[in-house]
Amino acid sequence: MAKDVIIACDFSSKEDVINFLSKFKEESLYIKIGMELFYAEGPSIIKEIKSRGHKIFLDLKLHDIPNTVMKAMSVLSKLDVDMCNVHAAGTVAMMEAAIKGLTREDGTRPLLIAVTQLTSTSEERMREDLLIQEPIDKVVMHYAQNAKKAGLDGVVCSPLEAGKVHDTCGKEFLTITPGVRFADGEVGDQVRVMTPAQAREIGSDYIVVGRPITAAEDPVAAYKRCVTEFLG
């Protein structure tokens, strides 16, 4: 199974991304593009990064009625991204529609993963704002099972949840885990973090790493360190 380090390119302009990517001379990278950059620059940013030989995780977290998500996904599948995502809270029917829209005429499609509960949502907010009374880890595992039932490839989760997701949904079901920090690095605003080596031990399939690489004095060295620690 492919394991990889995905770099979260949380830049606000094309210029900043290209400047960052131009530091890498030989490496073929896996880049996460989020809403901010995609909404600012549009599909041309995807074409630009793909033309440099990199893979793309387009992190737009779709959540709407099934028909709308299906149509939006069929547009994204033409962009030639390698991974994209939806909110599992959109229901199994919405996730099935997403897969349908994403699948090209030749049967191929980008990987599709689900966001379970956002890590910014506490159990208290779930209970009081969303009227969800179950414990948060039960909700996360249930959403992961729904994603599997709908035919998705995996979920975004905390590295701390990756082992349990694999136990619940099987080893082949992908875990994509942010919240990764070097043992001697800044934690910043992340609360529950793991090192790349710990993420590997616990069975993460892809780690999503932003500032430890993008804000490093030497991003290429930081990326290489991350790959070495994660892939072993």
176 vs 93: CA distance, rounded Å: 22
Q: Closer to ligand C5P by CB, 8 or 88: give it.
A: 8
57 forms bridges with which residues in the sheet? 32, 83
**Residue number, nearest CB to ligand C5P:** 210
207 vs 198: CA distance, rounded Å: 11
Site string for ligand C5P, 201-220 (x = CB under 6 A): -------xxxxx--------
210 vs 179: CA distance, rounded Å: 9
Nearest to 157 by CA among 131, 172, 171, 137: 137
Q: Least separation, in Å, of the C-beta of 34 and ligand C5P? A: 6
Q: Which residues within the stretch 75-104 sit at the binding site for ligand C5P (CB under 6 A)?
A: none
User: How far is CA 133 from each of CA 4, 137, 208, 232, rounded to the nearest angstrom?
Assistant: 36, 12, 30, 40
Site string for ligand C5P, 114-153 (x = CB under 6 A): ----xx----------------------------------
Pick the catalytic residue from 3, 14, 50, 61: 61
> CA-based Rg of the chain, rounded to a whole angstrom?
17
3 state DSSP class of 104: coil
Q: Known catalytic residue: 32?
A: no
Using rule CB under 6 A, residue 156 touches ligand C5P: yes
User: How far is CA 29 from each of CA 21, 53, 128, 163, rounded to the nearest angstrom?
Assistant: 9, 8, 41, 26
Q: Which residues within the stretch 17-36 sit at the binding site for ligand C5P (CB under 6 A)?
A: 34
Q: Least separation, in Å, of the C-beta of 71 and ligand C5P? A: 25
Q: Are strands 154-156 and 111-115 parallel, antiparallel or unpaired?
A: parallel
Site string for ligand C5P, 33-72 (x = CB under 6 A): -x--------------------------------------
Binding site for ligand C5P (CB under 6 A): 8, 10, 34, 118-119, 156, 178-179, 190, 208-212
Which residues are annotated as catalytic?
61
